Amino acid sequence: MSWIERRNGTTRAAIALVCLTVLGAAACSSSSTSTSTSTGASTTTASVAVTTTTQPRPAGPAADMSHELVGGNGVFIGSATKANVQQVGYVEREYLATGTATSYKIAGPITRDGRWKLAPDTTAPYRTRVLVRRPAAASKFSGTVIIEWLNVSGGIDADPDWVSLREEIVRRGDVWVGVSAQRIGVAGGPVLVKVQGPGTDVAGKGLTKIDPARYGSLTHPGDGFAFDIYTQVARAVRAGAGMGGMAPKHVIAAGESQSAFALVTYYNGIQPLTRAFDGFFVHSRGAVGLPLVAPGKFADIAGSLGGTPTLFRTDQTAPVLDIQTETDVASILNSYAVRQPDTDRFRLWEVAGTAHADQHLVGPSSKYIDCGVPINNGPMHLVAKAAWLALATWVDAGTAPVIAPRIDVQPGSAPKIVRNADGIAVGGIRTPPVDVPVAALSGAPGPNPSTICLLLGSTKPFSAARLAQLYPSRPAYGQRYDADTDATIKAGFVLQADRAALLAFAQPALVAG
């Protein structure tokens, strides 16, 4: 049993807060440091050049990815919108990844500082799938590969970081790789949050049952082996597997929600042994890591919430950029409990007015969800794209991202987000929809007690009277919004390439005059 497989009623009741990607099934094919004001662009600390020390990468087994997966009904992935990579000059290929994976056991105390000691334990064969989206033209390749640990909280494999980052991945010419690292995605298992709607009947079945003609030969030995499966795929990709003849320069790990929990464990326990990754993009982590489990078992993400809050260790060379939504900071995920100082190898970005999942991730599935108020419709994905570019640049050139202000939190046994009179969070990374608002964007849920709604935050429109107090005219609103857009881009939290997308969040029609 793992150090954090503790089970109790509180964590079970709160399970929804770690379950993001079930939403995509409906469209499958210690304390704070800095703060900011609640208006205007975030105050930042400029990025600095950091000298990168290269360490030898230990040898180890790599996955065999010499065979493509074909036939059946084609590629299956849980996503609110279809990838359509051909339209952007990319190709999509799916590979069988096979090998013998090793599980890990605890060989020392599991401490808050993350300096864990794990040791190899048992071995078992595996046959899983790896999905690759790469530039059709090798000349467009940036040299960077992002390997996403696919999220299984909804009972299926899903790709939330691709959904959030895809435009910037394509603009840069990065290769995206998705790994079916966990047992649920391959063999099926618990569905942590259920949603009604077309396509949700496949949740919990696993690839082998969803499409036996394509995936019937896959086998997974259990989540205790997931970390080494992930390592072996990274080694294979670095050596050129699935790359269409392109040679990677950098390989970066990525994961969102439950997969971010997995990256906490990986960075603290496995990366010191393998040094398989050059950087880590951690998106919406909780206070703990994904547990180690016995062969054949699923990782108990609910039980893990009662475990030891864990920082990212500070003795590794691979940089970490940890991007957190407002929901993540003070909900049951409680990432506030593991805030740590920014260093030459760590950055934390907390984004005000954002939710663990939002309209961008949910997409058309939102029509099947009633949370009592509209779900969060903030631009978290735009900030995430800036974060991805910042991390990729950090890894490639040694230039660290800007230091971001943290969301203001009232500490206590149940920390609370500090909010202004309109209910909008104070501090953190800020965007025009938050600082030139026509509604209160929040990581707090609406009135519907449904577990799924705990994830989705809220958008509460202002009254006409409040809008009139804020903006004397529609042009005045537009001028303020445009100015705040430019300030946010200058601060480094949204990319110039996404200026039009950020401007599209403006709603001048709601303002009189």
Say which residues have a Cβ less than 8 Å from residue 158's Cβ, sequence separation at least 6. 20, 21, 24, 25, 77, 78, 79, 150, 151, 152
For 71: left if phi > 0, alpha if psi spans -120 to 50, otherwise beta; the answer is left
Structural tokens at position 441: 């964007």
Which residue type, as a one-letter code, is found at position 331?
S
Asked if the model's pLDDT at residue 509 lies above 60, the reply is: yes
- Condensed to tens digits (0 to 9), the pLDDT of residues 69-117 reads 999 999 999 987 788 999 999 999 999 999 999 999 999 999 999 999 9
DSSP-derived secondary structure letter, 13: H
Beta strand 90-106 pairing with 118-135:
antiparallel
Length of the chain equals: 513
What sign does the dihedral 459-465-470-476 (CA atoms) show? Answer: positive
Task: Kindly report the average pLDDT of the chain as a whole number.
Answer: 90
Instruction: Concatenate the DSSP letters of all residues of 471-485 into one string.
Output: -SSHHHHHHHHHHHH
Q: How far apart are CA 271 and CA 250, in angstroms?
A: 15
- Residue that the structure tokens 């929600």 belong to: 257
* Mean per-residue pLDDT, 421-431: 98
Kindly report, residue by residue over 342-371, the tens digit of the pLDDT: 999 999 999 999 999 999 999 888 888 999
- In this structure, the number of other CB atoms found within 10 A of the CB of residue 483 comes to 14
Judge contact between 344 and 50, C-beta under 8 A.
yes
> What's the pLDDT at 154?
87
Name which of 159-168, 200-209, 470-479 the model is least confident about.
200-209
Beta bridge partners of 178: 131, 148
Every domain of the chain and the residues it spans: 1-27+87-318
Number of neighbouring beta carbons within 10 Å of residue 49: 11
Closest CA to 128 of 30, 228, 197: 228
Q: pLDDT at residue 301 above 90? A: no
pLDDT above 90 covers a percentage of the chain that reads 79
Lowest mean pLDDT among 48-62, 107-121, 181-195, 289-303: 48-62
Q: Determine the Cα–Cα distance for residues 12 and 304; give it in Å rounded to an integer.
A: 10
Indicate the helix (H) or strand (E) that contains 144: strand 144-149
Confidence category of residue 53, pLDDT binned at 50, 70, 90:
low
Residue 172 in this model has a pLDDT that exceeds 90: yes
Provide the 3-class DSSP secondary structure of residue 361: helix
In which band, very low, low, confident or very high, does the pLDDT at 481 lie, cut at 50, 70 and 90? very high
Instruction: State how far the Cα of 513 lies from the Cα of 509, in Å rounded to an integer.
Output: 9
144 alpha carbon, distance to own chain's centre = 18
On whether the CB atoms of residues 348 and 322 are closer than 8 A, the answer is yes
Quick one: which of 292, 349, 291 has its CA closest to 320?
349
Residue-wise over 287-326: b if at least 16 C-beta within 10 A, else e? Answer: bbbbbbbeeebbbbbbbbbebbebbbbeebebbbbbbbbb
pLDDT band at residue 37 under the 50/70/90 scheme: very low
User: Is pLDDT at 28 greater than 80 in this prediction?
Assistant: no
- Going through 203-298 in order, the beta strands assigned E by DSSP cover 250-256, 279-283
Task: Indicate left, alpha or beta for 111 from its phi (over 0: left) and psi (-120 to 50: alpha).
Answer: beta
**What is the DSSP secondary structure assignment for residue 177, as one 8-state letter?**
E
Q: What is the pLDDT of residues 364-411, one digit of tens each?
A: 888 889 999 999 999 999 999 999 999 999 999 999 999 999 999 999
CA distances to 202, 435, 449 from 460, rounded to whole Å, are 33, 15, 17
Cα of first residue to Cα of last residue in the chain, in angstroms, is 64
pLDDT band at 43 (very low <50, low <70, confident <90, very high): low
Pick among 3.40.50, 3.10.150, 1.10.150, 3.30.70: CATH of 1-27+87-318: 3.40.50
